[in-house]
Structure 1
Amino acid sequence: MAAGVKLMQKVSSTMLFARIAPHFIPAMDKAVHKLTRGKAMLSARMLPGVILTAKGAKTGEPRTTPLACMPEEGGVSWLLIGSNFGRPGHPAWTANLLKNPEAEVSWKGEDIAVRARLLEGEERARAWRAVLRFWPPYATYQARIEREIRLFRLERR
């Protein structure tokens, strides 16, 4: 594993990162995504990412959120991890997908209609093991909170 990736994993596991990152990473990702016409996200230097557009659970209005993701084989599905950087409370986008699973992602410059599904049981357990192999700091996030981190599979529709 490259030294830079190892360092980013260590940094992203800290409480300081959990306090600061939610305030600047999404804003920077949105700006870079817009400037590159959907072809790049700054945080993708650490992890692959999508821009999720889903209807708000309360308002029904479109909500756009840059998110790290784990692309699955074949390029037809992605795992989204509701870690909220290891902070208490589920991120708002997870409630949006629970209420309105029909959504859209921007992935490498392509807008793709998707359907989200909350993973549960053995399917979630298998996906969680894959997520931890992909980005081990998620284990640190889970260890410092009481809630179970929500995992969603997004599939092309």
Structure 2
Amino acid sequence: MLFGEEHVRRYRETDGDEGHDWQGTTTLLLTTTGRKSGKEYTTPLIYQRYGDDYLVVASKGGDPNPPDWYLNLQANPEVGVQVKGDKFHARARNATPSEKPDMWRVMTQAWPDYDNYQKRTSREIPVVVLERQG
């Protein structure tokens, strides 16, 4: 099973032939800029298409604290995205309260455990919308 840095490396080397399809779902690579370090960090994340946009979930398995990648994009919403061989710049934003119910449903169809993660924490787990730029 691919995970972490190895997942990122294999995904990049193969344009997603290895790593895009993962444990019965699909992943993309999200690159954020560290809010403290200014360094780039790349994270493989489960995603779904939503119209022209891509959705990811800042769940961290139901941890009370959000994942670092989410804190990074809150500080700088300009991100890099790779879906298979397609690499592009995007602007990240939280789903609005009116958008979130349908987007959450789409994401829990891709990864049903998101519902369990939400039950584990009092933190409202955000759905992040990645809007392609340019």
Residue 53 (structure 2) pairs with residue 72 (structure 1) = no
Match of 1:27 in 2: 5
| Equivalent pair of 1:86/1:145 in contact (CA under 8 Å) | yes
Distance 1:42 1:49, change over 3 A: closer
* 1:111 positional shift: 0.7
Distance 1:137 1:39, change over 3 A: same
Match of 1:62 in 2: 40
* 1:36 positional shift: 1.4
SS of equivalent residue, structure 2 residue 99: helix
Match of 1:131 in 2: 107
* 1:155 positional shift: 1.0
C-alpha distance in 1, partners of 2:20/2:129? 23
* 1:50 positional shift: 0.8
Q: Which has the higher strand share?
A: 2
* 1:57 positional shift: 1.5
Residue 112 of structure 1 aligns to which amino acid in structure 2?
A: F
* 1:135 positional shift: 2.4
Structure 2 unaligned runs (5+)?
none
C-alpha distance in 1, partners of 2:30/2:58? 13
CA RMSD of aligned residues (A): 2.1
Q: Which has the higher helix share?
A: 1
* 1:125 positional shift: 2.3
| Equivalent pair of 2:118/2:124 in contact (CA under 8 Å) | yes
Match of 1:99 in 2: 75
Match of 2:27 in 1: 49
Decide which moves more: 33-42 or 85-94: 33-42
Q: Please, what TM-score do these two structures have when normalized by structure 1?
A: 0.75
Structure 1 unaligned runs (5+)?
1-20
Match of 1:112 in 2: 88
| Equivalent pair of 2:47/2:107 in contact (CA under 8 Å) | no
Match of 1:154 in 2: 130
SS of equivalent residue, structure 2 residue 123: coil
Identity %: 32
Match of 1:81 in 2: 57
C-alpha distance in 1, partners of 2:70/2:94? 9
